[in-house]
Structure 1
Amino acid sequence: MKLNDTIVALATPSGAGAIAVIRVSGPDALNIVAPLFKAKSKKDLKEQPSHTLHLGNIVDGERTLDEVLVSIFKGTRSYTGEETVEISCHGSPYIQQEIIQLLIRKGCRAAEAGEFTLRAFLNAKMDLSQAEAVADLINSENAASHQMAMQQMRGGFSQEIQKLREELLNFASLIELELDFAEEDVEFANRDQFRDLISKIQTVLKRLIDSFATGNVLKNGIPVAIVGEPNVGKSTLLNALLNEERAIVSEIAGTTRDTIEDEMSIGGVGFRFIDTAGIRETTDVVESIGIKKTFEKISQAQVVVYLVDTSRLRSDEKRLKEVHVEIEKIKNKFPQKPVIIVANKTDQLTEEEVNNIKSDLGNISHTSLQLLSAKTGSGVEELKEKLLEFVNTGALRNSDTIVTNSRHYAALLKALEEINKVEDGLNADLSGDLLAIDIRQALHHFGEITGEITNDDLLGNIFANFCIGK
């Protein structure tokens, strides 16, 4: 990317709307826009102060393209850290393209994906982890992912990393200084204090690394596999949870032969529900493939909802034992996964039969039991509340730093590995020059997170995932 020219892009979603915002940024932003703008006040746009709004028309020679509102941001007092002009026009796609093409003819270049935010990073308006949080914020689809992105964009994660890096850098400087006085055998870096710092850094890094397990699922949605025998109401339950006819519902067993996925927000947390093929013995080749996929989805899920048709259990002791066996199979194969037994079609039972089902299914160890009728919707809200109990939202409530970015996670793991080497070196009384090698590597990985150490390939990969105009 050329970073010393002036770029332009549509900053609002493409398509028709009430208004659209066209963003221009670069050294000649005001020089390019000013001659094309005829203010209602007759004032020269270039002579107006920063952070002001101006009503007028965008013109191409004698032709008026649109009546617009222009915002100007001079010097470094803008999102990108360079001169910026934003044009709010009417939301016709035709008008948007006419203005953008006019600006390009007058000297602008069409911006590439993420180029405005890249310039903000390069102009020190934000560090790299904050820049990445901008993309997460744009893509947030629920309260949890929004809160995590906002916390990171405000610099909470960066501040923790920066503080650790500064303290480690201070000790690194003292150890490097010792090397200059090697012949005099002096010690500038107190080894006991250094051990305390290493212990502190290890604690913080481990907490951040552990938070990734929570952050990753909260960011991408908690996967929940809905499993059970054919025709017990799995598709009906999915439709009831989503409040729409998402899956085909039929009395014919084996209707769902592939997995169906959809997402929804419960209590501000995203959940990704997976309706799977019914588990049973079958000679149907296609259905067998679907059942194989069911077990694959169980392995990927955070929570398993095992659906049971209570109308089949009320007078069938053999069937009840089979349910016990099937649930135990899942629990033995996936011992770490929470399983919720959902007793469906309770609307077809008497109160006494419901109580018997509670007693029979409630005895299965290490499982939760929920009664509902997917057809009538009774008990669906209670199931949603139960699902929320399996999500660790404590860190969110406490506004703790939660790592959601796999690049940050990898850098933290490498940093911890190097810090552990430093600890081993201290315990082995290694010389300062050998300690300095591992310290430099740890500092390198810290710098990778905030962008103090970077390269063009890394920046290209990160900002290519942004939308045009941001």
Structure 2
Amino acid sequence: MLARHHDPIAAIATAPGRGGVGIVRVSGKGLQGLVQTLCGRPLTPRQATYLPFCDAAGQPIDQGLALYFPAPHSYTGEDVLELQAHGGPVVLQLLLARCLEAANQPDPASGQRVLPGLRVAQPGEFTERAFLNDKIDLAQAEAIADLIDASTEAAARSASRSLSGAFSHEIHALRDALIHLRMLVEATLDFPEEEIDFLRKADARGQLSKLEQTLAQVRQRAQQGALLREGIKVVIAGQPNAGKSSLLNALAGAELAIVTPIAGTTRDKVQQTIQIEGVPLHVIDTAGLRESHDEVERIGIARAWDEIAGADAVLFLHDLSRCDAPEYIAADADVAGAMAEKVSKNVPVIDVWNKSDCAAPAARLVATVGARASVRLSARTGDGLADLRRTLLDVVGWQAAPEGVFIARARHVQALHAVAEHLAQAAAQLDATGPALDLLAEELRLAQNALGDITGEFSSDDLLGVIFSSFCIGK
């Protein structure tokens, strides 16, 4: 642990602003003296006590509830004191200042300061203490922040499952199986005369195959969880007057973007987050793509291309009412060519044929472009929107969320990918004629380390700093 991890800490634990209740939290070793100084009496552990909170002169700041949780039975694993007062920002700042002031008062019994070194907590430091004191692992710690930040019900439920340890349980089960396999390989290295016969008798290849199958299932659920947490950036692109703004409004169910028959109405991006089956979609309407001499419109078009290049999925909007006009077809081809250069091959592009309600019957039969997903709809009437929503989820790999999905982050998915690569290398070594058992053992060790990165068993201090700094202060 770093030196700062031994300091007692205090912070306002509720969100900024006014509310019915606000909480000031203190965590550290040996808080009994601070409890006595602040509350004027000892507190019964884990029992709420209603009392006045007074300043150094004995004047009341507020009245509320005080709760004391002795170590190790607390959120952080240290002694924890919570003062629950009215949720006005001035009141809470006064209470926090009183905690810091009381910590530096002399204890009447010993003459020493009540709680030397008490300081304001850094972002995420309470949860970091919980992790360092083995109350939770790193995946559970991240799930706390994800539960707070959840933008959909499905994301909140998945974060709650991760917080309860569902994701960690899966990782620990993989780790235990991996350790058992490593044990077999290491034992074989210790007795080289046995070598591959010993591994065959122990069915090492079967154990590795089962491990790879289990890992594939965990990776699939983690990828679903990452979609729930991160959401999907969807960019609507196409020529002017294809109905991009109308489509954004239809998907959002609100008049967010200005819609007019005038080409070039949208000059800058308009963004709205919606949800489909609990998956957040960050939908961005962009300026119409064309050659323009208007400086403002050109800037908007450049920004549109920037958004398209960074999208998770692109809705390439086509106007069915103009799909037989030669100039429109040529301009669409130019946009398609530029899009092919700027959009990664891994990013799905959906061809959306809009204005089906006012297109000629022959135009409604327009064919799908290449092998890409294609949807015909009317942003004005809403016909075909359900198909578009379902297609969007399909192309990004979302499946109907079962109860077993847990929240996950991009780093979890990357770590599981690294595990899969190391296991694949291990399998290649095991299947080779005259396998190099030392290389096999090393691949298994690296796979275990990658799993440990998820739960924090092998995480660096730099990684921990990045993770916990993203938390709010007081959590």
Deviation, structure 1 residue 325: 4.8
1:372 matches 2:379: yes
Deviation at 1:358, TM superposition (A): 3.0
Map of 2:90 onto structure 1: 94
Aligned to 1:45: 42
Q: Which letter maps to 1:53?
A: A
Q: Which amino acid in 2 is paired with 1:52?
A: Q
Look up the equivalent residue of 1:371 and give its one-letter code. S
1:145 deviates by 2.5
Q: Which residue in 2 is equivalent to 1:33? A: 35
| Correspondence list, 1:32-431, <5 A | 32-37=34-39, 44-46=41-43, 48=44, 50-60=45-55, 61-107=57-103, 108-182=118-192, 189-190=199-200, 193-209=203-219, 214-308=224-318, 317-318=325-326, 321=329, 325=333, 337-344=348-355, 346=357, 349=358, 355=361, 357-359=363-365, 361=366, 366-373=373-380, 378-379=381-382, 383=385, 386-392=388-394, 395=399, 397-401=401-405, 404-428=408-432, 429-430=434-435
The amino acid of 1:128's aligned partner reads L
Larger mean CA deviation between 431-440 and 75-84 belongs to 431-440
Residue 41 (structure 1) aligns with = none
Structure 1 counterpart of 2:375, which letter? S
Moved more, 184-193 or 399-408: 184-193
Q: Distance in 2 between matches of 1:388 and 1:186?
A: 50
Aligned residue identity for 1:231: N
* 3-state SS, counterpart of residue 280 of structure 1: coil
Partner residue of 1:17? 19
Q: CA deviation at 1:241?
A: 3.5
Q: 1:435 aligned to 2:435?
A: no
SS at match of 1:263: strand
How far did residue 275 of structure 1 move?
0.9
Paired residue secondary structure (2:74): coil
SS at 2:93 equivalent: helix
TM-aligned CA distance change 1:120 to 1:303, over 3 Å: same
Q: 1:363 to 1:198 in 2, by over 3 A?
A: closer
Residue 100 of structure 1: CA displacement? Answer: 0.4
Give the direction of change, closer, same or farther, for the CA distance of 1:106–1:304 in structure 2 (3 Å limit): same
Kept after mapping to 2: 8 A contact 1:144/1:219: no
Residues 208 and 403, structure 1, Cα contact 8 Å, conserved in 2 = no
Q: Distance in 2 between matches of 1:403 and 1:198?
A: 26
Give the Å deviation of 1:160: 1.6
| Mean Cα deviation higher: 90-99 or 169-178 | 169-178
Aligned-partner Cα distance in 2 for 1:27–1:370: 64
Residue 74 of structure 1 and its aligned partner are, at CA, apart by 2.4
- CA spacing shift, 1:320–1:281, aligned 2, 3 Å: closer
Residues 309 and 180 (structure 1), Cα distance of their counterparts in 2 relative to 1, 3 Å cut = closer
Amino acid at match of 2:7: D
- Give 1:116 deviation, angstroms: 1.0
2:320·2:353 contact (CA, 8 Å) conserved in 1?
no
Question: How many angstroms does 1:114 deviate by?
Answer: 0.9
Could you say if the C-alpha distance between residues 190 and 379 of structure 1 is closer, same or farther in structure 2, counting changes exceeding 3 Å?
same
SS at match of 2:352: strand
Secondary structure at 1:130 match in 2: helix
Determine helix, strand or coil for the equivalent of 1:3. helix
- Structure 1 pair 342/10, CA: closer, same or farther in 2 (3 Å)? farther
Matches of 2:369 and 2:441, distance apart in 1: 56
Runs of 5+ unmatched residues, structure 1: 39-43
Going from structure 1 to structure 2, the CA distance change for 1:248 and 1:162 (only over 3 Å counts) comes to same
Q: Which residue of 2 aligns with 1:444?
A: 449
Structure 2, gaps ≥5 residues long: 104-117
3-state secondary structure, aligned to 1:391: helix
Give the 3 Å change call, closer, same or farther, for CA 129–342 of structure 1 in structure 2.
same
Where 2:203 maps in the other structure, the secondary structure is helix
Q: Report SS of the residue matched to 2:48.
A: strand
| Change in CA separation of 1:72 and 1:188 when aligned onto 2, cut-off 3 Å | farther
CA contact (8 A) 1:53 1:71 kept: yes
Change (3 A) 1:219 1:388: farther
Q: C-alpha distance in 1, partners of 2:368/2:452?
A: 53
* Cα pair 1:178 1:187 within 8 Å, conserved: no
Name the CA shift for 1:337/1:331 in 2 (closer, same or farther; >3 Å): farther
Query: Normalization by structure 2: what TM-score?
Result: 0.82
How far apart in 1 are the matches of 2:153 and 2:335?
A: 33
Give the secondary structure class of the aligned counterpart of 1:21. strand
Match of 1:457, SS?
A: helix
- 8 Å Cα contact 2:228/2:407 also seen in 1: no
The superposition leaves residues 241-293 of structure 1 with CA deviations (integer Å, 9 ceiling, x where unpaired) of 43455434454422323323221223422111111111223344553453344
- Distance in 2 between the 1:363 and 1:463 partners? 47
Distance change (3 Å), C-alpha of 1:327 and 1:210: farther
Indicate the residue corresponding to 2:470 in structure 1: 465
What percent of counterpart residues are identical?
34
- The structural deviation recorded for 1:97 is 0.6
Quick one: distance in 2 between partners of 1:12 and 1:93? 10
Offset from partner CA, 1:2-60 (integer Å, 9 cap, x none): 2233211111101222211111222233431333125xxxxx433x1x32111111112
d(CA) in 2 for partners of 1:442, 1:134: 26
Distance of 2:448 and 2:80 partners within structure 1: 35
- Conserved in 2, the CA contact under 8 Å of 1:5 and 1:28? no
- After the TM superposition, which of the residue ranges 145-154 and 431-440 deviates more from structure 2? 431-440
